[in-house]
Amino acid sequence: MSCGLQDVLELESLNTPAVLVASSAFAQAARRQTELLGAPNLRYQLVAHPIQDRSDDELRELARGVVRELVAALTG
């Protein structure tokens, strides 16, 4: 997650809207790291854990379940 968080921070510094997508198991870590990095308002979207053992179809279904929230975070 740390690498993804750094990517989002970098994109945001370039005025490019970005949202971190992470497994729900990392909710506390996401909150804490954004605070420690001085970006408590950084946008992130959590998806159901676990990710690694899911099939492509299951991952697509997870994505469909959060696409509206991602679009809203990027455009809102």
Question: Rounded to whole angstroms, how far apart are CA atoms 46 and 28?
Answer: 11
Task: Indicate the angle between helix axes 27-36 and 2-13, nearest 10 degrees.
Answer: 50
Domain extent at residue 70:
2-75
pLDDT values of the chain reduced to their tens digit, one per residue, 76 residues: 678 889 999 999 999 999 999 999 999 998 999 999 889 889 999 999 999 999 999 999 999 999 999 999 999 8
Which 3 state secondary structure label does DSSP give 40?
A: coil
- pLDDT for the residue 45: 93
Among residues 31, 14, 13, the alpha carbon closest in space to that of 22 is found at 31
Give pTM, 2 decimals: 0.80
Q: How many domains does the chain have?
A: 1
